[in-house]
Chains A and B, each alone.
Chain A
């Protein structure tokens, strides 16, 4: 089925370990995003990529890095995981938004990450 695929769905890390969350979309969207969702705080933008070859910081980028590998794939890396990064992570994609406001997001199914 067309959409956004995130892996893994669940992960437990020890403090200081590193990992990469993978995201791929097959809708030929230009823009891709990583959000984290925490109770009572809604979804907060970590990084986004408006188009292939570009990435920008969102609201909460500290402790994360991203790579827009190609138009389809956008990965999120935690270099040294901390308990504060325990969260649910969502990848999303969208048509490019500049000048156009009616393009919604298509979300992946989420990654539940626990850092102990």
Chain B
């Protein structure tokens, strides 16, 4: 069963605008962690942000924030004030008690920032 779903294969955003990348997940475990990674064209995987299922507040890291809606099982990444360097692939991932040591990744969203 697909644990992580990213329904936007490609997104475009104007420079300096905000953009939301969607992610929904599936787990029956009450304890889980959600992660977002960035993969620029150079290929490395860069950790961006983490949200725990018991966290009361949405996670934020600089221009990145995670819009966590637990009841809807969604963990959307919001990038504010987009920059040209934000053009990359973005992956949502989840880890829960059942998967334990394994992460499940979505298929990714390709973001292009337009000058």
Contact = CB atoms under 8 A, between A and B. Distances in A.
Interface of A: 31, 33, 35, 40-45, 48, 50, 58, 88, 90, 92, 94, 96-99, 101-107, 109-110, 112
B23 to A, nearest CB: 12
A41 B35 CA distance: 18
Interface residues of B, number: 29
B31 interface: yes
8 contacts: A41-B107, A42-B107, A45-B103, A97-B100, A98-B101, A103-B95, A105-B47, A109-B43
Nearest to B48: A104
Contacts of A50: 100-101
Main secondary structure of the interface of B (DSSP, over half): loop
A43 B91 contact: yes
Contacts of A33: 101-103
Interface of B: 4, 6, 9, 31-33, 35, 37, 43-45, 47, 50, 52-53, 91, 93, 95-97, 99-103, 105-108
